[in-house]
């Protein structure tokens, strides 16, 4: 049997600290607002399925008669939905802060520690829920869809994968009480496994495809923004790749994030009291790096160091593994 392509990051021992979120009614002068401009470069093929089938010739993929498609723009450029990015980034943010789960199924409710159940009171939220949202709470970050910078896509064959079967794997649960140990993350791999004989034909964003996207943020504390930047792999001591889409167990879905610039409103009063908004304060180059390091520094004590160390080891862009070729 092949080694497991994933690892569980244990929940913190202390319950999360629940607080009232900053709110949307005003821009607080002592908090941070702006837009992150990101470049996402595909390291291993990405497939985020629409659930629809199409002729390969209709989506520009030669040699495959019928395949499962990805979302595209009207002019044929591949698109990674903002919701997919938000889900992947939130999971990482939850793992390195003392947060609850975002969602859970009723089937495993009794096996998840009560303090990790999703937040239900919008006045009492965990760190991740204050930033990304919870029931009846929109959150403080907004994700744009990531659009490929050029037209065209590739094709591949996703190997057959079984659904997760936690009931059949004791490693998911604590021996003493049978409760879930923690959050599950798949390793980053050197390449994406394809299976042309038994696999499912899929439209894929091939290696080195480049996407552009933006994340808008408002009313974040320096620690919250620093944690978000850490999750995006901007801490040189803890570089990480994102993992999105299907086929993560067999190596698909790795993205390298590059922070191109940050735009911050120069004067909030001018921004919302004029028809012609003033130019934003744009941070690039050395100013950008200094700002990023300042926010990451502010997140020390907010981020759980052991959880960050383990997550960075799983999602490392340099310690890449080979995907399992058999049963694992």
CA distances 197 to 32, 157, 161, 258, Å, are 52, 8, 14, 36
Per-residue confidence band for 326, with pLDDT thresholds at 50, 70 and 90: confident
- Give the count of beta carbons closer than 10 Å to the beta carbon of residue 291: 18
With b for 16 or more beta-carbon neighbours within 10 A and e for fewer, the 245-267 pattern comes to: bbbbbbbbbbbbbebebbbebee
Which pLDDT value is given to residue 162?
82
Encode pLDDT of 104-155 as tens digits: 888 889 999 999 999 999 999 999 999 999 999 999 999 999 999 998 899 9
- Give the count of beta carbons closer than 10 Å to the beta carbon of residue 104: 15
Which pLDDT value is given to residue 166?
77
Sign of the torsion formed by the C-alpha atoms of 123, 126, 129 and 135: negative
Q: Which helix (H) or strand (E) holds 227?
A: helix 222-231
Query: Bigger pLDDT: 165 or 207?
Result: 207
Which pLDDT value is given to residue 283?
93
pTM of the prediction? 0.94
The greatest distance separating any two alpha carbons of the chain, rounded to the nearest whole angstrom, comes to 65
Which pLDDT value is given to residue 277?
63
Q: What DSSP assignment string belongs to 113-166?
A: -GGGSPP--TTSB-HHHHHH-BTTB--SEEEPPEEESSS--EEEEEPP-PPP-G
Encode pLDDT of 47-69 as tens digits: 999 999 999 999 989 889 999 99
Encode pLDDT of 185-228 as tens digits: 999 999 999 987 888 999 999 999 999 999 999 999 999 999 99
CA distance 62 to 293: 45
Encode pLDDT of 241-294 as tens digits: 999 999 999 999 999 999 999 999 877 777 677 777 666 689 999 999 999 999
Phi, psi of 38 (to 5 degrees): -120, 145
- Give the count of beta carbons closer than 10 Å to the beta carbon of residue 270: 12
- Average pLDDT over every residue of 228-241: 97
Query: Bigger pLDDT: 162 or 22?
Result: 22
Question: Per the structure block, which two tokens stand in for 63?
Answer: 């040699």
């Amino acid at each position: 049997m092949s080694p497991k392509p994933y690892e569980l990051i244990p929940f913190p021992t202390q319950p999360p600290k629940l607080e009232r979120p900053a709110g949307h009614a005003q821009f607080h002068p002592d908090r941070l607002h702006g837009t992150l401009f990101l470049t996402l470069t595909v390291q291993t093929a990405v497939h985020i399925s629409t659930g629809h089938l199409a002729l390969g010739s209709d989506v520009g993929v030669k040699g495959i008669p019928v395949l499962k498609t990805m979302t595209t723009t009207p002019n044929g450029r591949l698109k990674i939905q903002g919701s997919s990015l938000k889900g992947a980034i939130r999971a990482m943010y939850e793992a390195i802060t003392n947060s609850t789960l975002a969602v859970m199924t009723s089937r495993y409710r009794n096996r998840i520690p009560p303090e990790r159940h999703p937040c239900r009171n919008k006045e009492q939220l965990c760190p991740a829920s204050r930033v990304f949202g919870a029931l009846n709470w929109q959150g403080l970050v907004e994700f744009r869809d990531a659009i490929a910078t050029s037209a065209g896509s590739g094709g591949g064959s996703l190997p057959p994968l079984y659904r997760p079967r936690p009931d059949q794997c004791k490693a998911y649960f604590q021996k003493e009480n049978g409760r879930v140990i923690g959050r599950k993350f798949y390793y980053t791999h050197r390449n994406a496994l394809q299976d042309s004989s038994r696999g499912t034909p899929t439209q894929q964003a091939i290696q080195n495809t480049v996407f552009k996207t933006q994340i808008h943020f408002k009313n974040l504390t320096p620690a919250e923004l620093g944690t978000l930047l850490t999750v995006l792999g901007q801490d040189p001591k803890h570089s990480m790749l994102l993992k999105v889409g299907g086929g993560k167990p067999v190596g698909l879905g790795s993205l390298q994030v590059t922070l191109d610039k940050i735009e911050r409103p120069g004067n909030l009063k001018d921004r919302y009291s004029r028809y012609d908004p003033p130019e934003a304060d744009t941070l690039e180059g050395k100013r950008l790096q200094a700002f990023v390091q300042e926010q990451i520094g502010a997140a020390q004590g907010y981020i759980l160091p052991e959880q960050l160390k383990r997550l960075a080891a799983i999602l490392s862009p340099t310690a890449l593994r080979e995907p399992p070729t058999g049963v694992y």
